[in-house]
Amino acid sequence: MLTAIGQLATVIIGVPSIIYFAIQLREQNRERRQAAVNALTEQWGELTKALHENAEFTAVYLRGVQSFHDLDAVSKLRFSAFQNRFFKNFEGMYYSRREGILNTELWDEIDRTMSDFLAYQGIQEWWKTRRHWHTEAFARVVDGIITRGTKPTAYSTYDLEQVVPPKDT
Protein backbone atom coordinates (compact mmCIF):
# COMPACT_ATOMS: atom_id res chain seq x y z
CA MET A 1 0.00 0.00 0.00
CA LEU A 2 2.81 2.38 0.90
CA THR A 3 4.47 1.62 -2.43
CA ALA A 4 1.27 2.46 -4.31
CA ILE A 5 0.94 5.77 -2.46
CA GLY A 6 4.58 6.57 -3.28
CA GLN A 7 4.03 5.79 -6.94
CA LEU A 8 0.89 7.91 -7.02
CA ALA A 9 2.75 10.82 -5.40
CA THR A 10 5.52 10.46 -7.98
CA VAL A 11 2.96 10.61 -10.80
CA ILE A 12 1.18 13.60 -9.26
CA ILE A 13 4.45 15.50 -8.89
CA GLY A 14 6.21 14.14 -12.00
CA VAL A 15 3.55 14.62 -14.68
CA PRO A 16 3.16 18.38 -14.16
CA SER A 17 6.95 18.70 -14.17
CA ILE A 18 7.15 16.86 -17.49
CA ILE A 19 4.39 19.03 -18.94
CA TYR A 20 6.14 22.18 -17.73
CA PHE A 21 9.42 20.96 -19.26
CA ALA A 22 7.70 20.20 -22.58
CA ILE A 23 6.14 23.68 -22.68
CA GLN A 24 9.51 25.31 -21.95
CA LEU A 25 11.21 23.20 -24.61
CA ARG A 26 8.58 24.10 -27.20
CA GLU A 27 8.95 27.80 -26.37
CA GLN A 28 12.74 27.58 -26.69
CA ASN A 29 12.37 25.88 -30.08
CA ARG A 30 10.00 28.62 -31.24
CA GLU A 31 12.47 31.30 -30.09
CA ARG A 32 15.32 29.46 -31.82
CA ARG A 33 13.34 29.28 -35.07
CA GLN A 34 12.48 32.97 -34.90
CA ALA A 35 16.10 33.90 -34.23
CA ALA A 36 17.18 31.83 -37.25
CA VAL A 37 14.56 33.49 -39.48
CA ASN A 38 15.68 36.92 -38.24
CA ALA A 39 19.32 36.07 -39.00
CA LEU A 40 18.43 34.87 -42.51
CA THR A 41 16.42 38.05 -43.11
CA GLU A 42 19.34 40.18 -41.97
CA GLN A 43 21.76 38.26 -44.21
CA TRP A 44 19.39 38.72 -47.15
CA GLY A 45 19.22 42.47 -46.52
CA GLU A 46 22.99 42.76 -46.33
CA LEU A 47 23.37 40.78 -49.53
CA THR A 48 20.91 42.80 -51.58
CA LYS A 49 22.52 46.10 -50.51
CA ALA A 50 25.00 45.63 -53.35
CA LEU A 51 22.15 45.99 -55.82
CA HIS A 52 20.69 49.20 -54.49
CA GLU A 53 23.79 50.94 -53.19
CA ASN A 54 26.09 50.53 -56.18
CA ALA A 55 24.74 51.53 -59.60
CA GLU A 56 27.80 50.17 -61.40
CA PHE A 57 27.32 46.72 -59.88
CA THR A 58 23.59 46.88 -60.55
CA ALA A 59 24.38 47.34 -64.25
CA VAL A 60 26.78 44.37 -64.11
CA TYR A 61 24.09 42.30 -62.43
CA LEU A 62 21.40 43.22 -64.96
CA ARG A 63 23.75 42.40 -67.85
CA GLY A 64 24.76 39.17 -66.11
CA VAL A 65 21.22 37.88 -65.74
CA GLN A 66 20.88 38.23 -69.50
CA SER A 67 24.15 36.46 -70.28
CA PHE A 68 26.92 35.46 -67.91
CA HIS A 69 29.06 34.43 -70.89
CA ASP A 70 28.90 37.91 -72.45
CA LEU A 71 30.34 39.66 -69.38
CA ASP A 72 33.97 40.77 -69.40
CA ALA A 73 36.32 38.98 -66.99
CA VAL A 74 36.07 41.55 -64.17
CA SER A 75 32.29 41.70 -64.43
CA LYS A 76 32.12 37.89 -64.45
CA LEU A 77 34.13 37.80 -61.25
CA ARG A 78 31.92 40.40 -59.55
CA PHE A 79 28.70 38.76 -60.78
CA SER A 80 29.97 35.33 -59.76
CA ALA A 81 31.01 36.47 -56.29
CA PHE A 82 27.57 37.99 -55.77
CA GLN A 83 25.76 34.91 -57.07
CA ASN A 84 27.87 32.67 -54.87
CA ARG A 85 26.86 34.63 -51.78
CA PHE A 86 23.26 34.70 -53.02
CA PHE A 87 23.10 30.95 -53.55
CA LYS A 88 24.97 30.14 -50.33
CA ASN A 89 22.25 32.17 -48.61
CA PHE A 90 19.58 30.14 -50.43
CA GLU A 91 21.42 26.95 -49.50
CA GLY A 92 21.41 27.97 -45.83
CA MET A 93 17.68 28.56 -46.09
CA TYR A 94 17.24 25.15 -47.70
CA TYR A 95 19.00 23.44 -44.81
CA SER A 96 17.01 25.52 -42.32
CA ARG A 97 13.89 24.16 -44.00
CA ARG A 98 15.19 20.59 -43.84
CA GLU A 99 15.91 21.01 -40.14
CA GLY A 100 12.39 22.32 -39.51
CA ILE A 101 13.49 25.88 -38.71
CA LEU A 102 11.69 27.42 -41.70
CA ASN A 103 8.06 26.47 -42.16
CA THR A 104 6.49 25.52 -45.48
CA GLU A 105 5.07 29.00 -46.10
CA LEU A 106 8.50 30.63 -45.76
CA TRP A 107 10.19 27.96 -47.87
CA ASP A 108 7.57 28.41 -50.60
CA GLU A 109 8.42 32.13 -50.66
CA ILE A 110 12.11 31.30 -51.03
CA ASP A 111 11.33 28.77 -53.76
CA ARG A 112 9.37 31.40 -55.70
CA THR A 113 12.24 33.87 -55.32
CA MET A 114 14.80 31.33 -56.53
CA SER A 115 12.49 30.43 -59.43
CA ASP A 116 12.35 34.09 -60.48
CA PHE A 117 16.14 34.38 -60.55
CA LEU A 118 16.84 30.97 -62.05
CA ALA A 119 14.50 31.66 -64.96
CA TYR A 120 17.15 33.97 -66.44
CA GLN A 121 19.65 32.54 -68.91
CA GLY A 122 22.64 34.31 -67.36
CA ILE A 123 22.00 32.88 -63.91
CA GLN A 124 21.58 29.41 -65.39
CA GLU A 125 24.87 29.86 -67.25
CA TRP A 126 26.57 30.92 -64.00
CA TRP A 127 25.03 27.96 -62.14
CA LYS A 128 26.59 25.52 -64.59
CA THR A 129 30.04 26.94 -63.72
CA ARG A 130 29.55 26.85 -59.94
CA ARG A 131 27.11 24.02 -59.25
CA HIS A 132 29.96 21.93 -57.85
CA TRP A 133 30.51 24.52 -55.09
CA HIS A 134 27.23 23.49 -53.46
CA THR A 135 25.98 20.37 -51.76
CA GLU A 136 24.46 17.76 -54.01
CA ALA A 137 21.12 17.95 -52.18
CA PHE A 138 20.83 21.69 -52.73
CA ALA A 139 22.12 21.39 -56.32
CA ARG A 140 19.25 18.98 -57.05
CA VAL A 141 16.78 21.58 -55.74
CA VAL A 142 18.26 24.25 -58.02
CA ASP A 143 18.36 21.86 -60.99
CA GLY A 144 14.71 21.01 -60.34
CA ILE A 145 13.75 24.67 -60.38
CA ILE A 146 15.62 25.21 -63.65
CA THR A 147 13.92 22.15 -65.16
CA ARG A 148 10.50 23.71 -64.53
CA GLY A 149 11.36 26.17 -67.32
CA THR A 150 9.80 29.20 -65.63
CA LYS A 151 9.49 32.22 -67.91
CA PRO A 152 11.77 35.06 -66.73
CA THR A 153 9.52 37.81 -65.38
CA ALA A 154 11.30 39.24 -62.32
CA TYR A 155 12.76 42.05 -64.41
CA SER A 156 10.15 42.02 -67.18
CA THR A 157 9.18 45.64 -66.60
CA TYR A 158 12.81 46.78 -66.89
CA ASP A 159 14.22 47.57 -70.29
CA LEU A 160 17.23 45.28 -69.98
CA GLU A 161 18.37 46.15 -73.49
CA GLN A 162 19.13 49.66 -72.22
CA VAL A 163 21.67 48.45 -69.64
CA VAL A 164 25.01 49.60 -70.96
CA PRO A 165 28.44 48.14 -70.22
CA PRO A 166 30.79 50.25 -68.10
CA LYS A 167 32.94 52.80 -69.89
CA ASP A 168 36.56 51.84 -70.41
CA THR A 169 38.85 53.85 -68.17
pLDDT tens for residues 75-129? 999 999 999 998 998 999 899 889 888 888 888 988 999 999 999 999 999 999 9
pLDDT tens for residues 137-150? 999 999 999 999 98
The DSSP string of 77-101 is HHHHHHHHHHHHHHHHHHHHHHTTS
Q: Which residue pairs, CB below 8 angstroms and at least 24 apart, start in 108-111?
A: 111/145
Provide the pLDDT for residue 169.
Answer: 46
